[in-house]
Every structure is written in C-alpha cells, then in structure tokens.
Amino acid sequence: MRKWCVHLLFIALLIPLLLVPVDVAYGYDDPVYYVNIDSEITKGLYEYIERSVKEAEENGAELIIFEMDTPGGLVDVAVDIGNLLSSTELKTVAYIHPDAISAGAYIALNMDYIYMSPNANMGAAAVITSDGNAADQKAQSYWNSKMRDAAERAGKDPIYGLAMIDASIDLPEYNAPEGELLTLTASEAVEVGYADGIVENRAELLQIFGYSEGNVQNVDKTFAESLAEFITNPIVVPILLSIASLGLILELYSPGFGIPGYMGIVSLLLFFYGHYVAGLAGYESLILFILGVVLIVVELFIPGGIVGFIGLGSIFLSILFSGQNIVQMAISLLFALTVAIVAMVILMKFFGKKMTLFSKIVLQDSTSTEKGYVSHPTRTDLIGKIGTTITPLRPAGTIRIENERIDAVTEGGFIESGKEIKVVEAEGVRVVVREIQ
C-alpha cells in the first residue's frame, strides 16, 4: 500500500515539471516565412500558426506563406486562426496544395492572396457535429455569417463561399446544384475570383512575389506542438482517456503497481500535457487533478468513501475543464467510463478477479462456520445420547448426560423432571431433546 501511494504521489508531483512552458526562439532574419498546414484543424494547430506569425513579425519578415492540405476540423479554431491572420500586418498567402476543405477554405479566405496547384480544391465547408450529423440552425447561422464576412473582406462574391456551406444554393454550372455543397477546382476558383492564380510549385509561387528559395525560412512544428495537435484531435481524446481508465482499472485487479498503472498514469499525463501546450488546460485544471489524486490517496488511509468520491469528482472536473468544448469532453469521458465499467464486469464475471487495492482497505473475509469461526462450539457429540431431565422443560430447562449438566430445550412440548430424554439436534448453544416414551 505504501509503495503504491509513493508511486502515485511521485507521478502527480511530476506533472507540473512536464507542463513548464518552453519558449522557442530561432532568431531567423528571412523576408519569407513558410508554414505547413497539413493536418486537421485543431487547437494544437492554432498554437503552431500563432507562433509562426509571431516569429515572422518579430524577425521582420515581409511575407508568410501557408501551404494548405487539410480536410478541415474544428470551426471555432478555424475562426480563431482567421482572426489571427486577418489582424497581422504581414502579407499572408494561402497556397492550396492540394486541398483546403471545410474549415480550411474559411482559413484561406482570411489571407491576402490565394494560389492553388493545378489539381487543388477548396470548399465543402458545412458544419457537422462530432458524430457526423449536421449542426443545429444556430451553429449554421453563425458559420454562414463568418464565411460571408471573410469573403466580403477579401473582396470576393460571398455567394460562392455561402454555397460551400449551404446546399440550398443552386450553382449547377460549378457542379453544385441545389442539394450539393460547392467545391471549387483550381480553374473554377480563379474564374470566380476566389483564387489569384494557379502555380505548379513553390518556386513558381515565390517568383510571383519576387523571392527565391534563398529568402525562405521554413517554420517546422516542434515536438510539443505536434504532440498537442495529435492529442487534442477529437478522435484521439476518447481513445486516450479510455486507455487511462482501462489501465487504472486493470491496476486495481493487479498486485503492486505495475504496467497497467503506469499505462493509465502516462495516458493522463499525455492528455494534460497536450491540452496544456495547446492552450486549453490551465493551471486550474492541473490543481484540480492533483487535488483529486491526493484525496484518493487519503481515502486509502481513512476509509469511508466520501473523500474518495470527492477526489474522483475533482479528477473528472479537471478533465472536463481541459477541453475547449465541455459537451464534447463529457462525451469522451463518458465513453472512457463505459470502457472501464465493461472491463470491470469482464474481469469480475469471467475471470473471477477481485480488486487487490480495495482488499487492503475493505474486510473481505467472513467469520462463517465453514471457515472455522464460531461464537460457541456446537455439541454435535451429544446427538443421539440418552440423558435425564433435572428440571422440568417448559420447553427450556436442564438435563444431565453422563454426569454433565446441560441446558436444553424440547421440540416444543412439556417434559417433567426425572424423565428420560434423547438429544435429537445440536446447533451452537442450542441442544434439542425429545422424551423417550
């Protein structure tokens, strides 16, 4: 028990060290910065783009190019990225190579210039929920206004931007009749004014703005940013939490503190680390988590249940507050808890496992007769023996068997003193006799 607690406390105290922010300063002095948007749009991606823009501004860059190949992602993150790009004094260029779909199309519209490779596409930007269904009317209306605003600020006809998110707009000449979302090819985007041109490669794009490869500084993602981008993915979050819950549940059924426990703790550490780097989890979430761990450890020494439940609640709250969307995080947490409950049922029902940890704080043994625990010895040796009543049995009284006085009861009737009796039953201190006729 003590060793297990030391492990848990050590890991809990290690979390603040992992969450210490690391400032990255490169000190480059190139006029063109080149950034890759080559994944889903998550909060981790926002942190990467924000750092890239900040570095370009601080180092006197004249132009920042974003090469885009994204299937889209979180709408609220796309809006934040759009606000970031539209507020910078840098010239911003979107190089769509080959796709800027969904929220990616919105981000591209917030840049000063859009260039596309010959086989590139942009569009199909309808809002969908995490389960793949269309968003409600309120969310659709919000997204419509954002797309219209981005197109108008860029000096583009908003009808095409709205057709990317509203299937009711009829544009059959661009393969988007009513009921279909608009996705523009490179040539179509140039035709409707949504792209400034088509380029074969990066060198040709640089040449348009009067630069060469020697003027370019590539901004790569740090390991922390790549990890944060991966961990904050809506698909990865429930998987990571499920691994954590499954590992901790398996640890409850294992002696000592081994691989399952470390698997669960490491998964939680990765979860908080990724969300912290992405700017989603603050120190308040970390404090709640550590408090929950401490309360659970205290519960091991002060059984009662209340402290432990408060600790679990604190951990659950810390996870909920670490996400950008509490509802989505609650769904992920519910999924993880379901996995944990199923694992417990399987272990208990099919493998007959008992929680090793709980057995140390809860009395599992019972003082049954089968296990040799009795409050008074049962006189089974008296069964069948003959004796004499010393006092009347009404139905209780005293009998004598082989010069031993014994308290006894009848089967329900009355037996006078001096009568011959036979012992028919013995259980604990209760000796039952019957008169011999």
Q: Model confidence over 343-373: pLDDT tens digits?
A: 777 777 766 555 444 444 444 455 555 555 5
| SS3 of residue 400 by DSSP | strand
Cis peptide before 98 (omega within 30 of 0): yes
The residue count of the chain comes to 437
What pLDDT is attached to residue 360? 46
**What is the C-alpha to C-alpha distance for residues 260 and 248, in angstroms, rounded to an integer?**
6
CB contact at 8 A, 109 and 147: yes
Q: Quote the pLDDT of residue 295.
A: 80
What is the separation of C-alpha 399 from the centre of its chain, rounded to a whole number of angstroms?
Answer: 72
As given in the structure block, the two tokens for residue 269 are: 């550490």
CA separation for the pair 194, 54 (Å, rounded): 27
Report CA dihedral (44, 46, 48, 50) to the nearest 10 degrees: -150
The better pLDDT of the pair 385, 345 is held by: 385
Residue with tokens 């000063």: 112
Output the six-digit token pair for 321: 């507050």
CA distance 331 to 328: 5
User: Is 90 exceeded by the pLDDT of residue 95?
Assistant: yes
Count of other CB atoms within 10 angstroms of residue 34: 24
| DSSP 3-state of 66 | strand
The answer to whether 68 and 98 have CB atoms below 8 angstroms apart is no
Long-range contacts from 128-131, C-beta under 8 angstroms, 24+ separation: 130/234, 130/328, 130/331
Query: Looking only at Cα atoms, what is the longest distance across the chain?
Result: 128
DSSP string, 12-44: HHHHHHHT-----------SEEEEEE-S-B-HH
For the four alpha carbons of 412, 416, 417 and 422, in that order, the dihedral sign comes to: negative
Q: Which residues contact 117 (CB under 8 A, 6 or more apart)?
A: 95, 96, 97, 98, 186, 198, 199, 200, 201
Is the model's pTM score more than 0.85?
Answer: no
Q: At what angle do helices 75-87 and 137-153 cross, to 10 degrees?
A: 20
Distance separating alpha carbons of residues 278 and 291, to the nearest angstrom: 23
Q: What pLDDT score does 348 carry?
A: 72
**How sure is the predictor about 99, in pLDDT bands with cuts at 50, 70 and 90?**
very high
CA dist 222 and 172 (Å) reads 44
**Average pLDDT of the residues in 162-175:** 92
What pLDDT digit, counting tens, does each position of 234-256 carry? 788 888 888 888 877 776 665 55
pLDDT tens digits, 111-123: 999 999 999 999 9
Task: Provide the 10 A C-beta neighbour count for residue 340.
Answer: 21
Q: How far apart are CA 142 and CA 145, in angstroms?
A: 5
Helix, strand, coil shares, percent, the chain, to 5: 50, 20, 35
**Two structure tokens written together for 343:** 């694992």
Contact status, residue 75 vs residue 40, Cβ threshold 8 Å = no
What confidence score (pLDDT) does residue 30 get? 66
